[in-house]
């Protein structure tokens, strides 16, 4: 009796392979844009896009629960934390772009195309159903039974992080002995710096 059965074969379906390649290219591109953009708000948008693309990639290769958690929990909470930080520090002003301006129309069109594409792909292939039903056990059931200790540790870690970040934010800021840093260039990009700060961006 062999110890190891046959390994799963790689994906060979042409549309699915094309989709995986496309998502991977977009993922790496948006990740690169995230770390290269100087405006923090745009970097956060690129990061949220990367998280959505990771969820789309999981749609092809992972259980559906992971896709849902990645898309609904990790993406939204990460973006909310980052936007909350910007609102609490640099302050985000309301957009001056009107609702019928070309920028708004282009953005809405891109969003509509992305949603339509996602709905089309989901409707045509039914990957979530296949991925979910191909599992021997329910993923959530395995999570609750086999990995119960891990889940408990995770809850402790998340609780500690929430408590720690809350305490950090609630702590009064002591005056700096150096009188604070330079404020020569303040921008929502968060990269306020003096020009002679070396080669690091």
Could you say which residues in the range 92-131 bind other proteins, by CB under 8 A? none
CB of residue 128 to other proteins, shortest distance in Å: 13
Q: Report the 10 Å Cβ neighbour count for 100.
A: 7
Return the residues of window 19-38 that contact other proteins according to CB under 8 A: 20-21, 24, 27-28, 31-32, 34-35
CB of residue 129 to other proteins, shortest distance in Å: 16
Q: Report how far apart, in Å, the C-alpha atoms of 45 and of each of 24, 93, 95, 100, 182 are.
A: 18, 16, 15, 22, 28
Q: Which of 62, 71, 121, 132 binds other proteins (CB under 8 A)?
A: 62
Q: Report the 10 Å Cβ neighbour count for 30.
A: 19
CB of residue 50 to other proteins, shortest distance in Å: 7
Pattern of binders to other proteins over 154-183, x per CB under 8 A? Answer: x--xx-xxx-xxx-xx-x-x--x-x-xxxx
Q: Report the 10 Å Cβ neighbour count for 164.
A: 10
Q: Binding of other proteins at residue 150 (CB under 8 A)?
A: yes
Q: Report the 10 Å Cβ neighbour count for 160.
A: 10
Enumerate the H helices of 98-192 as residue ranges. 102-125, 127-133, 139-145, 148-170
Where does this chain touch other proteins (CB under 8 A) — which range of 98-106, 108-116, 119-127, 134-142?
Answer: 134-142
Which C-beta is closer to other proteins: that of 17 or that of 120? 17
Give the span between the Cα atoms of 2 and 20, in whole angstroms. Answer: 32
Which of 70, 125, 147 lies closest to 139, judged by CA? 147
Return the residues of window 64-83 that contact other proteins according to CB under 8 A: 65-66, 69-70, 73-74, 77-78, 81-82
């Amino acid at each position: 009796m062999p110890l190891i059965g046959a390994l799963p074969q790689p994906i060979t379906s042409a549309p699915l392979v094309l989709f995986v390649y496309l998502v991977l290219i977009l993922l790496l591109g948006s990740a690169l844009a995230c770390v290269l953009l100087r405006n923090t708000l745009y970097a956060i948008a690129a990061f949220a896009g990367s998280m959505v693309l990771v969820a789309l990639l999981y749609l092809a290769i992972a259980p559906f629960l992971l896709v849902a958690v990645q898309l609904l929990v990790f993406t939204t909470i990460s973006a909310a934390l980052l936007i909350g930080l910007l609102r609490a520090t640099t302050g985000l002003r309301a957009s001056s772009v009107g609702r019928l301006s070309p920028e708004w129309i282009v953005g809405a069109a891109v969003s509509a195309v992305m949603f339509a594409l996602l709905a089309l792909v989901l409707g045509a292939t039914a990957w979530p159903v296949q991925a979910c039903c191909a599992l021997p056990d329910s993923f959530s059931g395995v999570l609750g039974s086999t990995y119960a200790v891990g889940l408990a540790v995770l809850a402790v870690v998340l609780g500690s992080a929430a408590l720690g970040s809350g305490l950090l934010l609630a702590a009064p800021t002591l005056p700096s002995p150096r009188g604070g840093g330079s404020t020569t260039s303040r921008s929502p990009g968060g990269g306020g710096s003096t020009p002679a700060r070396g080669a690091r961006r």
